[in-house]
Amino acid sequence: MQEIWYTGIVTRLVDETHNTRRFWIRIPELERFDFKPGQFVTLDLPIHEKKNKRWRSYSIASHPDSTNIFELVIVLLEGGVGSTYLFNEIKEGSTLQVRGPLGMFTLPADMEKDLFLICTGTGIAPFRSMVQYIQLHQLPHPDIHLIFGCRYEQDLLYAEEMRQLDKDMPRFHYIPTLSRQEDWTGKKGYVHSIYEEILADNKRPANFYLCGWKAMIDEARQRITAMGYDRHDIHLELYG
C-alpha cells in the first residue's frame, strides 16, 4: 500500500447539487497524477487525534488526463465529521493531505463482457472516470449500462454529461432511476429491477460493478448471484 502523502491544493470548487460539491485538487510536486479509472484517494483531515479516524477515502471522479489535477465529488453527510469539515473549511487555495491512487476497482483487462455499472449517490464517481476514459481512448467495448439510483431528479450527478455520452457512444446506456419523484418520466424505483429487466430475456456474460451504500450492494450481490452469475463477475466499492 502506497504510504506517500502529498500536499494537494484545492484549485476549484463547484456545487453540483444541493448537498454535493466537486473538488478539483492539484498535486504541485508531481508533473502528472497517474491513476487507473475507478481508483480512489485518501484524505487526512485534521478532525481527530487518531490517524484512522482522520482518514476519508473518495473515488476519483475525473479520468486520467496526464495533468497533476484530479476531481472528487463529495456529499455532505448529516453528522459526517469529514464531509462537514470539507464543506465548511475548505476553500479555493486550501491544502489537503492526499494519499493515492489506491484500489483495485478498475476496468476488466479484456472488456469482452457487457458491463453493468450500478451506483447510488456519489457512487457514480468511479464510473464517470471509466466511461470518459473508454470514450476518450476509443476502447472497443460491448454494451455498458450505467444504472444510477437517486431519490429525486435534483440528486442526479453529471446528468447532462451522461446524457451526452449516451448520445455519443452507441453502446453506452445511461439509465437514471428515481425512487421518490412522482412526475419523473424515466425509470422509477430502485436500481435492482433495472438490471434484472435488461437480463431477463437474455442472460449474457457480464461484469457487474457496484458502488454505493452497503444496503444497495448487499442486495445487488444477492440478486445477481440469484440470476445465476458467479461471484467473480461482481466487483464492488463500498461507501460509508
Query: Which secondary-structure segment (H or E) carries 217?
Result: helix 214-226
Note the pLDDT of residue 106: 97
CA angle 111, 113, 118 (to 5 degrees): 95
Pairwise CA distance, residues 82 & 39, whole Å: 20
pLDDT tier for residue 229 given thresholds of 50, 70 and 90: very high
Say whether both 45 and 129 belong to one domain: no
Region 126-136: mean pLDDT is 97
CATH of the domain at 22: 2.40.30.10
Full DSSP string of 106-169: ---SS--SEEEEEEEGGGGHHHHHHHHHHHHTT---S-EEEEEEESSGGG-SSHHHHHHHHHH-
Region 61-68: mean pLDDT is 97
Query: Which secondary-structure segment (H or E) carries 193?
Result: helix 191-200
CATH of the domain at 156: 3.40.50.80
Q: Is the dihedral of CA 148, 154, 157, 159 positive or negative?
A: positive
Number of domains making up the chain: 2
Say whether both 140 and 230 belong to one domain: yes
Inter-axis angle of helices 191-200 and 214-226, to 10 degrees? 20
Check whether 176 has a pLDDT greater than 80: yes
Say whether both 198 and 139 belong to one domain: yes
Instruction: Quote the pTM value.
Output: 0.95
Say whether both 80 and 164 belong to one domain: no
Inter-axis angle of helices 159-168 and 125-136, to 10 degrees? 30
Pairwise CA distance, residues 23 & 38, whole Å: 17
Residue matched to cell numbers 498535486: 27
Say whether both 181 and 158 belong to one domain: yes
Containing structural domain, residue 98: 5-102
Say whether both 77 and 36 belong to one domain: yes
Note the pLDDT of residue 239: 76
Instruction: List the strands of the sheet with 55-59, edge to edge.
Output: 55-59, 40-44, 95-102, 5-17, 20-26, 69-75
Check whether 73 has a pLDDT greater than 80: yes
Say whether both 235 and 131 belong to one domain: yes
| % of the chain exceeding 90 in pLDDT | 92
Say whether both 84 and 132 belong to one domain: no
Pairwise CA distance, residues 107 & 96, whole Å: 28
Pairwise CA distance, residues 82 & 33, whole Å: 24
For residue 161, give the C-alpha cell.
Answer: 454529461
Residue ending a domain, among 71, 102, 133, is 102
For residue 108, tell me if it sits in a domain.
no
Say whether both 173 and 120 belong to one domain: yes
Residue matched to cell numbers 448529516: 78
Please state which of the ranges 21-30, 60-69, 106-115 shows the lowest mean pLDDT: 106-115
Check whether 2 has a pLDDT greater than 90: no
CB distance 211 to 105 below 8 Å:
yes
Q: Which residues contact residue 211 at a Cβ distance below 8 angstroms, ignoring those fewer than 6 apart?
A: 59, 105, 117, 118, 119, 123, 124, 125, 126, 127, 217, 236, 237, 239
Say whether both 93 and 122 belong to one domain: no
For residue 109, tell me if it sits in a domain.
no
For residue 107, tell me if it sits in a domain.
no
